[in-house]
Amino acid sequence: MRFLLLLSVLGRCWAQYDPHTQPGRTSIVHLFEWRWDDIALECERYLGPNGFGGVQISPPNENAVISNPSRPWWERYQPISYKICTRSGNEDEFRDMVKRCNNVGVRIYVDAVVNHMCGNGVSAGTSSTCGSYFNPGSREFSAVPYSAWDFNDGKCKTSSGEIESYNDIYQVRDCRLVGLLDLALEKDYVRTKVAEYMNHLIDIGVAGFRIDASKHMWPGDMKAFLVKLNNLNTSWFPEGARPFIYQEVIDLGGEAIQSSDYFGNGRVTEFKYGIKLGTVLRKWNGEKMAYLKNWGEGWAFMPSDKALVFVDNHDNQRGHGAGGASILTFWDARLYKMAVGFMLAHPYGVTRVMSSFRWPRYFDNGKDINDWVGPPSENEVIKRVIINPDSTCGNDWVCEHRWRQIRNMVIFRNVVDGQPFKNWWDNERNQVAFGRGNRGFIVFNNDDWTLSVTLQTGLPAGIYCDIISGDKINNNCTGIKINVCSKGLASFSISNTAEDPFIAIHVDAKLKTDE
């Protein structure tokens, strides 16, 4: 009994589900493939002032330079060493970004690629972002260093050395994923090297990690390197704070590996969230928004306190990694804003907003054959994120997080944080509404006719600015005004042809009166 109690106490010490965002900040944004200096600027000029909690960054460690195709986005997932040296910047620039973002209350979460090194088909040499020598054929990664002893080649039981069946947990966790050299994380030396890399980042000041390809590692092996991690840097975090951990596990059901296998290590990505929400908003398979009343665990999702959720991510918006046709992205802007708005209004999970770049899509037999295209660049240098006069982005950066509707819903989530889900209403089809305690209320019209209804909002009486059609500026509304009467009732009218067929109000968007 004493031994079990000790294990329980140890588990509480290192399993980390808290993103350590500052009070009043709740959402993460993934600034996919941004440069470190641009992220630092964005923290100071936009993310901090608009209440974003943190940034997920692209992998910061040295990777192979892939020339065919030319510099694809996925080369960042082909590690060569754990040096902080990529197209996004060097270690000095990384340190400056972490410091500047932390100083304005925006946390940094690193996309940690520790399941594998680069693919076995990459040519040996020094064609890497920091010039380190590597030889995938002989399993030599001198800058770590790793050798042939540190990989799972002998442990994998398939003839090809690749994963051949996702119903075999041993293949999924011991064999190569699309040729990527699988690290032997059962070995303490490998665990120690991974922990050293992550601890270096923790000491610089990062708040946590998205752990890539967690499904392809044994949960116990992950626990073994997670328990080696340092507490967070006390320059910005409380004494004894543990790094936030969220693990990439694609679990759509029907396979041997389940998300729940990883709950002991931290939060887990809930991939069913975006797939199901996209299906509902597209009205496929007879799905209706009215069915979202029990959204979350009621849809067989993992427990809310274990989940990290998103409408789309860098993989599935390109058709990779559980990327089905239902996934909504910036290419489907009208429905996408509704989906992100719903996610940010609903209390389930820790939310992550995507911020993308455009690429020239070209479809052949339904597949985008340009899904590999890397970030906007010139002479292989990532272009700066240009901010237009209207606050949108240029240079082919999409910056969904800067869209007024999404930015204002990030603020909405902050305002209603901790408030109960209540005052649900629906028309049994695709017009729905719900509140968050007495602090916020949101209404959607995804039907093919106008919504016109009076609803109980649960909010104090007053005039509110709709934060979807505009902003509250100088105690006035640039968009629609909503009048909430003394009993909490308010009338809503939303055309089915509106650019954004939803309305959201919250107490911080209430106009002040002379009363």
Beta bridge partners of 476: 473
Tokens of 73: 């986005």
Catalytic residue among 38, 62, 212, 500, which? Answer: 212
The type of residue at 305 is: D
CA separation for the pair 499, 98 (Å, rounded): 37
CA–CA distance, 373 with 389 (Å, rounded to integer): 28
Determine contact, residues 83/27, Cβ cutoff 8 Å.
no
Distances (CA, A) of 16 to 87, 192, 223, 377: 30, 19, 11, 36
* E strand segments, 173-309: 180-182, 208-211, 244-247, 267-269, 307-309
81 phi and psi, to 5 degrees?
Answer: -155, -175
What is the sign of the dihedral through the CA atoms of 37, 42, 43 and 44? Answer: positive
State the Cα–Cα distance between residues 104 and 134, nearest whole angstrom: 39
440 in Cβ contact with 507 (< 8 Å): yes
Look up residue 281 and give its DSSP letter.
H
Known catalytic membership, residue 248: yes
Contact 309, 350 (CB under 8 A): yes
* Cβ(132)–Cβ(81) below 8 Å: yes
Smallest CA-to-CA distance from 282 within 332, 233, 244 is with 332
Kindly give, in sequence order, each residue whose CB lies less than 8 Å from that of residue 148, ignoring residues fewer than 6 positions away: 138, 139, 140
Contact between 86 and 61 (Cβ < 8 Å): yes
| Structure token pair of residue 236 | 């910005």
Helix axis angle, 219-226 relative to 188-204, nearest 10°? 50
Nearest one of 148, 149, 153, 146 to 175, comparing CA atoms: 153
Mapped onto helix, strand or coil, the DSSP state of residue 17 is: coil
As a whole number of angstroms, the distance between CA 209 and CA 195 comes to 12
Peptide bond into 69 cis (omega under 30): yes
Burial, 363: exposed, middle or buried (Cβ in 10 Å; 0-12, 13-18, 19+)? exposed
Active-site entry in 248, 251, 261, 270: 248
Sign for the CA dihedral angle at 85, 87, 88, 89 comes to: positive
Distance CA 379, CA 154 (A): 41
Q: Is 212 a catalytic residue?
A: yes
Positions annotated as catalytic residues are 212, 248
